[in-house]
Structures are given as C-alpha cells and as structure tokens.
Structure 1
Amino acid sequence: MSRFQRIVVVGGSLAGMNVIQELRRLGYAGGLTLVGEEDVQSPYDRTELSKKLLTGTIDPDDLYLLTTEEIDELDLDLRLGRRATSLSLDPSRHTLTLDDATILEFDALVVATGSRARRPAFMGGLAGVHVLRTLPDALALRAELDSARNIVVVGAGFIGAEVAASVRSRGQSVTLVDPQPTPLGTVLGPIVGSHFADLHTRHGTDLELGVGVQELVGDGRVSGVRLTDGRLLPADLVVVGVGGAPVTEWLDGSGVEVDNGVLCDDGGHTNVPGIYAVGDAARWYSDYYGTQVRSEHWNNATLQATVVAENIVAAAKKSTLCAVPSFWSDQYRKRTQMVGCPRPTDEVCFVSGGPGEERFVALYGRDDRVTGVISFNSPRGLIKYQHLVAEGASWSASTALPDNIIPTDTRY
C-alpha cells in the first residue's frame, strides 16, 4: 500500500497520464491531481503531429489517447490550462504553485512537463514562422500550408525531416536547411545520413546542407531566409525544428537537481524523497550507458511511467528501468527504426542491404561494442539484430557473422 495520500502529476503528457493510469491499475486509491499547461481533452499522440495531422489524413480528434469517459473513471482533480510556476519543499509542507496563484499540497509529485521547442535568436517575431511541438503548433502550421508557395524547413533532425516529407506528400515544394552535411547527421552520422539525403532528393525536396541560417527577413511577415553563406532563399512559410529543451524552470530554487532535465536514478527517484520525474523532462541513470540519459521518445515515456508508478505504490524502491532506448520515424511512407544510442562518429556496418536501397539494416559500434542498430523499411531485420545492443555484444564478432553483407565502402 502506498505511503502517499496526495499525489500531483505535473504535465498532461503521455508520460504523465501513463503514470496516473498505472497508479490506478495498481490499486492506488488516494488523491490524484493532474496539472497540464495545454487545455486539451486528453494526452494525444504527438508522433503524428509532423506526419498524418500535417498531411490532413487524420483530424485532431483522432490523436486523443483517452475518451472523456475513460478520464472520468480515473477520478482525477484535473487542472488543465494551468502552468506550474514554483515548488516549495518545506519539511512540514510540500506545495506546488500554479500560474493562477492556486497552491496545491502533496505528499508525492511527478515531474512530467516534457520539453518545448528551441527558438533560436534568428526566429524574431515575423508572421509565418512556426515551431512544431504541440497540437496548437501543428494546427497553426497546417492552416497556413495551403496558401504557402515557398516553404523552408530549418533543421534536418527527425522533426524537420518528417515535416519536409509531409509537405512533399502534400505536393508542395520545400527546402530543407541544416548545417550538417547530411540530414539526421547528429544522430545517425554521415554514412546513414547520406541515405536520407538521397531519399529526400528522390522525392523532390531541395536540400541546403552544410550551411546555417543567419536571419529571417521580411516586413511583418517572413519573405526570405538568409543563409550563412549570404544567399537568400525565398520563403513565405518557415518551420524551425532544431530540438527541444526540458521544461524545468519552475523547479528553480526548489532543491530538485536539474541539468538538461531532472536528474534521476534508474527508478525515477530524484534527489528529493517523494519527487519523481518521467518523459522528456527527465534524465534517468542507465546502467547500459553508465550515465544519466534524456530520451525524448514514445517508448521511453511509457516504460518510465510504469516504473515510477510501481515505485510510488511500493514502500521502497522495487523497480528499475533496464530498457535500451528505441524510436522510429516515418518519412515518405517508409519507417526507420533505431535501437540504442550510437554516436555519429561510431563505426557502421550494413548487415543487410545498403544506402539507397529499398530496405537495409545497419549496426553501429565503438570500442568493440555494438551501440545501436537501425533498420530502414525492414522491421524483421531490426528484430533479428536488436539483441546485440542490449547484450553489449562484441563489434568484431557481430560484424563477422556469416550472413552479414558488409560493403567495403560503408564499413569504417
């Protein structure tokens, strides 16, 4: 039986709602309050914001993960459209203050505030410039897409690459800009990244790689993107996708340790008893990597929520997260799946297929250890090799397996 009688979950994210659902499933009958900055019906599937919602193949209502009836059954004190502003951890009274001056007392608190889109200085305040992190962001972007003629996406990470692919799927022209020499270069490295450069080019996306953005120009509304090499790209709509930052400023001065996310052990506990963190706002310790890792992916949010709920209900720490990070991306109706957390400088070995082919599977490795596996349009291939990452298998032994295909120009 849980020792906590009043639990507050801050953040109406997938991770936050999963904590609540799991607490009720485990039999927790105490008070549960959910504070969410977005005033929406329920947590929603953010993975489709840059894909099906943007292309118009689904409506906003299709994104919601819970019905109104299902939320009612959880017996929550819902505080939607409210933002946490500060946390006080006085020994005799723990309180959370909201932006409407409401003060909530609690015995345990779960940080699930996620991340917000980074806004580089060059964005300025021109109309027609968008980020994509929330449902309102996506709806605002979609509303302007129909009338846009010159669309520029800044940032060729997963969000930027998916947005560019969605725009092309709508039949519109788009230019993808990134200072890296290939799309997804900071995650996948140049070898695998070159495959995605070819993929986008084949589908008609214009690539401006190896060059950054100096400024956005326009009179009230954006009309162009000036690159760091001096060229000016015409643009009447710009999407900036350069990563996210954890929403943790409301914890300043509380005593909860934060460093690019709330620092946690492998069970979601922070340095303050009774305070936990999950999802994009959290950095959990990983035995596999030997350090604290912030992973902004769906699977991570689900697994962490389960572990934290179990530890809240238990009298002492019982559960830990041992899972290897994993994620996926859909571009041009092709699915890319990754297990592990390789560095862009890791060695690469294609064990099935190769860059530019309809499907492939590749391993990443360093220091004679397999650090990741990526599959393109090949889910069975991922299943076949993903155990090598979890086991920390030998790179030399894994890449010498008889059924591996290792092109000499892609193994370094």
Structure 2
Amino acid sequence: MAPPAHVTVVGASLAGMSLTQELRRLGYDGRVTVIGAEKTRAHYDRTQLSKDLLTGLAEPESLYLMTENEVADLSLDLRTGRRATKLRVVNGGKTVTIDDGTTVEADVVVIATGSSARRPPFPADLRGVHVLRTMEDALTVRTELVNATSIVVLGAGFIGCEVAASARALGRDVTLVDLQPAPMCTVLGPVVGDHFARLHRARGTVLELGTGVAGLTGDGHVTGVRLTDGRVLGADLVVIGFGGVPETRWLLGSGVEVDNGVVCDDAGRTSVAGVLALGDAAKWHSPRHGRPVRSEHWNHVGLQATVVAENIVAGTANTGGDTVSRLDALPSFWTDQFGSRTQLVGAPHPEDDVDIIAGAPGESGLVAVYSRDGRATAAVAVDAPRALVRHQALVADGAPWPRVDVDR
C-alpha cells in the first residue's frame, strides 16, 4: 500500500520529534505537520530536568536532542506554542482544530501529546508551590532553590525522589511525603522501595511515609504542608510529584478510545483508522501483560516511534488488518539519585516475590529478581549493569525462578 500524503503529529517533544526523525530516515517524503504546545523547542532530555538541570550541572542548551539546523532539515510544518483542541473524523477524513482557530486536514494523525503533571486542588495563587514536568518548571524550581531553606516534596515516585536527591545535593533541608510505606512502592514494591528509603535517610532526607497531605498553609506564599495526622511541616518551597495525567481531553467526541491514555494495539493504532498514538499519552497493548499498558519511560518512546513510522511508510497505519511492525519490547528504565544509578528490566508488580541475590538495600551493588508464579518477571540492579545484563534474558523469557543453575 502507498504511504499517506500528509501526516499530522500532535505533540512536539521526544515522542513526536522521534517519530518525525524516523519517518524521514525511512525515506518518507510526504508532508509532515507537527503541533507543539510548548513555545520553545520541546525536544529535550526530560530525564535531566529533575537531576542535572535542577542542580545547575547542566544548562538548557545542553539538553536539546536536536539542533535548530537538524530540525530544519526534517522539512516540517512546525507549529509551536499551539495546542490541538479537537479531532474530527468524518468518512475517514481527519481534521485537527488548533487553539488559534485554524484547522489541519491529514491522512494520518499521530497523537503524541504526552502528559501533564497531576495537580491537587491547592490554591492556585499560592507562590512557592510547583510541579516539575517541563523545562520551564525545572528552571523555576532551580531559581527558587537558591533562597529556599526548607523543601517539602509531595510524592515519592521517580520524579519526587529525584527532586529530593537534587535538593539534598544542594544542601537544602528536604522532607519527602508519601502515602505509601516506601518510596516508589507502587512500582517497585516494598523490598526495593526500602532500598530508596535507606538511601535517602542516609543522606539526610526526612521521610514522612504512610501519611497523606490535607492541605497547605500560607498567605500569598507557602509556609507549610498540613498532613492528614494534623502536623504541619514548615516549607518555603513545595514540589508536587504526584505523577502525570495523559493529555487526551481534546479527543472527546473523536471516536478514539481513551482509558487513562489512548488505547492502542501493539502497532500503535487506535480505535479509529488512520489515528495512531505513542509516548506518555498512549496505552499500547503489551503481549507480555496481555493488556494495554501506558509507559512513561524514555526507552519505550524510541521503540514506539520506530514501529509507528514503519507502519506509516508501509501504508499499514490506515487499516485494521496486518501491519509490518509490532512492538514486543521488554520494559526498562533507570533512575539516578545521589550519584547512584538503579536500572530495571521487566514488569514488576508490588506483590511479586523478590529475592535479593547480591548486596543489601541502601547499598551500591544491590541486585534483586522479581518473580510471580515461579517465573522471573523483572530484575533490578544498583550500580551493577553487568548483573542486570546477566538476568535480562531470564526476565525476557519468563524463565523459572528461583534457578539454582544461574550465576547470581
């Protein structure tokens, strides 16, 4: 089948721009329109926003993934500082309405709108309260860290823990608050979560775990965080790390199925022919899970971009039948905290069995394997990349675990 004449990509950050690069690399010479909400270049390394950018070890220019010349070479109709407000599909034709009132008609539409930071119902006019999702967010927090003395981070997931580690590296007093019994517990479970609890406590972070947030105090500027047990933590800077919400509201009425993300098959195709999705906003079917899964990790985006681009170029993006490319990738991600890198492969569940096969929680060299129903589901390694590689094949194959014949 012939490739489409015009592809419109809604989203100009890592997912959207990775897709445009793949399209051109594969020889697609059709028209490509890209609509991006951020006013400046959005294709930057978001993994460093909570780390080197926040601590001042990196400056914005070093985080961009493409130069302006490289973007120009892609020959895109690039519209930055603009949001898509509606997708209309009539008789197979697709029209994207933009917030400036203009419309774009396309043969194929790719949703790469990402996610926005989840915001609790705190007073919007209270200064000193921030989320961290964009470069602008990170630069604002970095500026306020200069004079802040007491920082409270709400949410001990990846972003929250990384922000807390960065603030401690700058010598600030930091308290990390979460309802869960351990940091990153909802993803990694209590055993590996205890590793991060020990890591943070050893470096001076105060952990308030198993408690919720009732509200904030302050008049004009935040002065504290009120916990559900009645205590108030003093704070002159609050960073919220409650995760992300997929940017899918603009798809209402389009016919595209949404369920905490755009529901896709393993080729990135949605419930509407000729509409695909990738990145944080997408929920791809995972053969390993047997259900749609939304992944917000860097490694997954590049793989999805390749699959979507291959199907567009092959002309199989606009059908519900066979496709030339599908994704069956082993999930993987990493986090850097206090100069230590933790890497994970697989899909752990908080209730999986966990065997620590090297090291100990809180220490470099920790290696652990997750298992469920006697099969390996994930492996995690702290500053031990070779150990991770040794166990990656076991996880990929869902091999029996524990294994006495494996070099641990």
Find the partner of 1:323 among 326, 329, 341: 329
> After superposition, what is the alpha-carbon deviation per residue over 1:140-184, rounded to whole angstroms, capped at 9, x for unaligned?
111111011111001000100000000011111111111111111
CA deviations 1:189-214 (Å, max 9, x no partner) are 11111111111011111111111111
Is 375-384 or 123-132 further displaced after alignment? 123-132
Give the Cα–Cα distance (whole angstroms) in 2 for the partners of residues 132 and 319 of structure 1.
34
Paired residue secondary structure (1:380): helix
> What corresponds to 1:336 in structure 2?
342
Please, what TM-score do these two structures have when normalized by structure 2?
Answer: 0.96
Given that 1:50 and 1:138 are in contact with CA atoms closer than 8 Å, whether structure 2 keeps it comes out as yes
Is the 1:2–1:312 contact (alpha carbons within 8 Å) kept by the matching residues of 2?
Answer: no
Structure 1 Cα separation of the partners of residues 287 and 253 of structure 2: 29
Deviating more after overlay: 308-317 vs 81-90: 308-317
- Measured in 2, the distance between the counterparts of 1:240 and 1:82 equals 26
Q: Which residue of 1 aligns with 2:75?
A: 75
Indicate conservation of the 8 Å contact 2:14/2:42, yes or no: no
Q: Which position in structure 2 is the counterpart of 1:250?
A: 250
Q: Does residue 38 of the first structure (1) align with residue 38 of the second (2)?
A: yes
- CA 1:107–1:87 in structure 2 vs 1: closer, same or farther (change >3 Å)? same
In structure 2, what is the equivalent of residue 401 of structure 1?
405
Partner in structure 2 of residue 154 of structure 1: 154
Partner SS for 1:87: strand
Is 1:150–1:236's contact at 8 Å kept on the other side of the alignment? yes
* Equivalent AA in structure 2 for residue 401 of structure 1: D
CA drift of 1:185 comes to 1.0
Measure how far apart 1:358 and its partner are.
Answer: 2.1
User: How much does 1:401 deviate?
Assistant: 3.4
Q: Which residue of 1 aligns with 2:296?
A: 296
Equivalent in the alignment of 2:201: 201
C-alpha separation between the residues in 2 aligned to 1:288 and 1:125? 45
Question: How far off is 1:19 after superposition?
Answer: 0.7
CA distance in 2, matches of 1:255, 1:231: 47
| Separation in structure 2 between the aligned mates of residue 162 and residue 264 of structure 1, nearest angstrom | 30
- Counterpart CA distance in 1 for 2:306 and 2:151 is 41
Task: Answer yes or no: is 1:236 the counterpart of 2:236.
Answer: yes
Contact in 2 for aligned 1:123/1:129 (Cα 8 Å): no
Structure 1: how far apart are the matches of 2:131 and 2:334? 20
Deviation at 1:188? 1.1
One-letter code aligned to 2:377 = T
Q: How far apart, CA to CA, are the structure 2 residues paired with 1:16 and 1:252?
A: 21
User: Does the aligned pair in 1 maintain the 2:217–2:225 contact within 8 Å?
Assistant: yes
Counterparts of residues 11-410 of structure 1 (less than 5 Å): 11-91=11-91, 93-122=93-122, 124-316=124-316, 317-396=323-402, 398=403, 400-401=404-405, 403-404=407-408
The worse-fitting range, judged by mean Cα deviation, of 114-123 and 68-77 is 114-123
> Alignment identity in percent?
58
Alpha-carbon contact 1:2-1:28 (below 8 Å) kept: no
- Contact kept in structure 2, 1:283 and 1:293, CA below 8 Å: yes
Residue 354 (structure 1) shift: 2.2
For 1:141 and 1:297, the matched residues in 2 are separated by 22
TM-score, normalisation: structure 1: 0.96
Deviations 1:260-301 (A, max 9, x none): 111111011111111110000001111111110000000111
Kindly provide the amino acid, as one letter, of the partner of residue 379 in structure 2: V
Distance 1:225 1:235 in 2: 7
Rounded to whole Å, the distance in 1 between the matches of 2:372 and 2:303 is 27
Aligned length: 402
3-state SS of paired residue (2:303): helix
Q: What displacement does 1:402 show? A: 5.4
In 2, are the aligned partners of 1:158 and 1:184 still within 8 Å (CA)? Answer: yes
1:125 deviates by 3.3
Contact 1:165 1:332 in 2 (8 A): yes
Residue 93 of structure 1 and its aligned partner are, at CA, apart by 3.4
Residues of 1 paired with 2:288 and 2:195: CA distance? 28
Please tell me the root mean square deviation across aligned C-alpha atoms, in Å: 1.2
Shift of 1:121: 1.9
Aligned amino acid, residue 252 of structure 2? D
Structure 2: runs of 5+ lacking an equivalent: 317-322
Farther-moved stretch of structure 1 (86-95 vs 201-210): 86-95
Counterpart Cα distance in 2 of 1:124 and 1:231: 22
What whole-Å deviation, never above 9, does each CA across 1:205-254 have from its counterpart, x for those lacking one? 11111111110010011001011110010011000101101001110100
**Aligned twin of 1:410:** none
Deviation digits for residues 370-391 of structure 1, max 9, x if unmatched? Answer: 1111111111111110111110
Q: Which amino acid aligns with 1:15?
A: A
Contact conserved, 1:175 with 1:207, CA < 8 A, in 2? yes
Q: Deviations over 1:291-336 (max 9, x none)?
A: 1000000011110000000000113310001111110000001000
Alpha-carbon distance change, 360 to 123 in structure 1, aligned in 2, over 3 angstroms: farther
CA contact (8 A) 2:340 2:364 kept: no
Cα separation, 2, equivalents of 1:358 and 1:366: 25
Q: CA deviation at 1:3?
A: 2.8
Shift of 1:124: 4.5
Change (3 A) 1:230 1:71: same
Give the SS at the match of 2:70: helix
The amino acid that maps onto 1:49 is: L
* Structure 1: runs of 5+ lacking an equivalent: 405-412
Q: Distance in 2 between matches of 1:321 and 1:119?
A: 32
